[in-house]
Structure 1
Amino acid sequence: MDTPKVAEHIIKWLKDYATNAKVSGFVVGISGGIDSAVTSTLCAETGLTTLCVELPIHQATSQVNRANEHIKQLKERFKNVSETEVNLTSTFENFKTVVPQITSSPKVDLALANTRARLRMTTLYYFAGLHGLLVAGTGNKVEDFGVGFFTKYGDGGVDLSPIANLVKSEVYKLAEYLEVPTSIQKAQPTDGLFGDSRNDEDQIGASYDELEWAMDMQEKGKISTDFTGRKLEVYKIYTRLNRINQHKMIPIPVCEIPKDLK
């Protein structure tokens, strides 16, 4: 990958899109992870308003510290960057008191994790509407079009996706080129939605390097019988998640009414 030219291409694309949409810039949710750091830096490089928003909900101190380090660095480098924090912990806790308590359901933890992401999306769109900004998505290609590792109408609810055509390893190359803080480049990827120490690999069962490999194999027309051992295991993980999460990746189904019925 020609990293400098890829960065230049994305920056121009962002700027052109915002100009055509007649908005003043972008709002980005900052998590302390690599994807949001790269996305926000690319947005800042456009010279347009870039609002970095921290949205902690019972967030781990390490994640908060990395997010703060990144935002501080961005503000020192770019005059067009501003920041705000909305601590949604009390909102999340209040939400749990007004919905039915189904503590016996094994799905409750996942439902609440997705609720965190949707509360954050709502907040980002509040700021977007307030300041005339676009919500910039932070998903990469493996997450958005490979395994569907995002929350529908949560972190998947965005106006545009600047890095969604890049796999994770390419995002890391961009991060190094864009001088994203080393602490973020070295941190284990995590969505931080469960309030514990689990990372993305713990949840998915495979690393991003493995998932990139599986994505490439599927695109080349390989099937499970082509592999054995760990490769077979990873390929099955990838293809299962790709299959069950298609509802996140395709347009919303619309029931078309025949003309003779209307």
Structure 2
Amino acid sequence: MQFDKVNEQIVTWLKTYAENSKVNGFVIGISGGVDSAVTSHLCAQTGLQVLCVEMPIHQAQSHVTRGREHIEQLKEKFPNVSSVEADLTATFETFKTAIPVSKDAAKLNLALANSRARLRMTTLYYFAGIHGLLVAGTGNKIEDFGVGFYTKYGDGGVDLSPIADLMKSEVFALARYLNISQSILEASPTDGLFGDDRTDEDQLGASYDELEWAMHQDENKKSINNFSGREQEVFGIYKRLNAINQHKMIPIPICKIDNY
């Protein structure tokens, strides 16, 4: 992949879309991960207004440090970039007191993790509204269209998705082309929604490289019986996640009323 051309295409697409939409630029939530770092860098290259938003909720200090380091580097390089912090920890804790507690600990933890992402989405749209900006999504292809590893109406609630046709490995390669900081490139991918040190691989049961392989095999119409050992296990993980998360990848079902 020629990343100079990929970079140019995405930046042109972003700028054209924003200008046609009659908005001032973009707002991006910065997590300290590679996806938000690449997305914000691409948006900054448009020359339009870019607002980077930190939204910690009991966030690990390493995530905060990486995010702030990236924002400062971006602001030094691009005069059109600004930043703001909205600490949502107290808001999240207040939310928890307003809802009944489930006795199912696993479901409760997942629901609260997704609630963090949805609080952040609401915050991004607040800033988008007052500044006339589009919310730029940070999802990549394997997450958005392979295993559905994102929160519906959380980090999946965006106006446009500039890197959603790039695999995670390609996002990392583009990040290296853009000279994204080494601390971000070396960090294990994590959604940071559970307040602990679990990685995306811990949650998914497979690495992104493995899941990308499985996605390619599935696109080539392979079945689980074509594989054995770890490959069979990974392909099974991919097919299971792809199936249960189809509700995130298809349009919202509408009950079409007949002509009575």
TM-score (norm 2): 0.99
How big is each residue's C-alpha offset from its partner over 1:80-102, in whole Å with a ceiling of 9 and x where there is no partner?
00000000000000000010122
SS of the aligned residue for 2:196 comes to coil
Instruction: Work out the CA distance in 2 between the residues paired with 1:15 and 1:259.
Output: 44
Give, as a single letter, the amino acid of the residue that structure 2 aligns with 1:139: G
Q: What is residue 157 of structure 1 aligned with on the other side? A: 157
SS of the aligned residue for 2:106 comes to coil
Q: What is residue 119 of structure 2 aligned with on the other side? A: 119
Asked if structure 1 preserves the Cα contact closer than 8 Å seen for 2:102 and 2:108, the reply is yes
Q: What is residue 130 of structure 1 aligned with on the other side? A: 130
How big is each residue's C-alpha offset from its partner over 1:133-179, in whole Å with a ceiling of 9 and x where there is no partner?
00000000000000000000000000000000000110011101111
Q: What is residue 109 of structure 2 aligned with on the other side? A: 109
Q: What is residue 49 of structure 2 aligned with on the other side? A: 49
SS of the aligned residue for 1:259 comes to coil
Identity %: 68
SS of the aligned residue for 1:155 comes to coil
Question: Does residue 73 of structure 1 match 2:73?
Answer: yes
Give, as a single letter, the amino acid of the residue that structure 1 aligns with 2:59: Q
Instruction: Work out the CA distance in 2 between the residues paired with 1:120 and 1:65.
Output: 18
Give, as a single letter, the amino acid of the residue that structure 1 aligns with 2:85: E
SS of the aligned residue for 2:153 comes to coil
Q: What is residue 92 of structure 2 aligned with on the other side? A: 92
Where structure 1 has 5 or more consecutive residues not aligned to the other structure, the ranges are none
Asked if structure 1 preserves the Cα contact closer than 8 Å seen for 2:101 and 2:108, the reply is no
Instruction: Work out the CA distance in 2 between the residues paired with 1:169 and 1:122.
Output: 29
How big is each residue's C-alpha offset from its partner over 1:3-51, in whole Å with a ceiling of 9 and x where there is no partner?
1000000000000000000001000000000000000000000000000
Asked if structure 1 preserves the Cα contact closer than 8 Å seen for 2:24 and 2:133, the reply is yes
SS of the aligned residue for 1:107 comes to helix
Instruction: Work out the CA distance in 2 between the residues paired with 1:168 and 1:213.
Output: 11
- Bigger mean CA offset, 66-75 vs 98-107: 98-107
Instruction: Work out the CA distance in 2 between the residues paired with 1:164 and 1:259.
Output: 39
Q: What is residue 240 of structure 1 aligned with on the other side? A: 240
Instruction: Work out the CA distance in 2 between the residues paired with 1:101 and 1:21.
Output: 42
Q: What is residue 173 of structure 2 aligned with on the other side? A: 173
Aligned residue pairs total 260
How big is each residue's C-alpha offset from its partner over 1:95-141, in whole Å with a ceiling of 9 and x where there is no partner?
00010122444300000000000000000000000000000000000
TM-score (norm 1): 0.98
SS of the aligned residue for 2:126 comes to helix
Instruction: Work out the CA distance in 2 between the residues paired with 1:259 and 1:159.
Output: 34
Give, as a single letter, the amino acid of the residue that structure 1 aligns with 2:37: A
Q: What is residue 254 of structure 1 aligned with on the other side? A: 254
SS of the aligned residue for 2:251 comes to coil
Asked if structure 1 preserves the Cα contact closer than 8 Å seen for 2:135 and 2:159, the reply is yes
Q: What is residue 204 of structure 2 aligned with on the other side? A: 204
Where structure 2 has 5 or more consecutive residues not aligned to the other structure, the ranges are none
Question: Does residue 225 of structure 1 match 2:258?
Answer: no
SS of the aligned residue for 2:112 comes to helix
| RMSD across aligned positions (CA) | 0.6
The Cα shift of 1:259 comes to 1.6
Question: Does residue 195 of structure 1 match 2:195?
Answer: yes
Instruction: Work out the CA distance in 2 between the residues paired with 1:81 and 1:191.
Output: 24
Instruction: Work out the CA distance in 2 between the residues paired with 1:208 and 1:103.
Output: 33
Question: Does residue 82 of structure 1 match 2:82?
Answer: yes
SS of the aligned residue for 1:189 comes to coil
SS of the aligned residue for 1:53 comes to strand
Query: Moved runs in structure 1, 4+ residues, more than 3 A?
Result: none
Q: What is residue 140 of structure 2 aligned with on the other side? A: 140
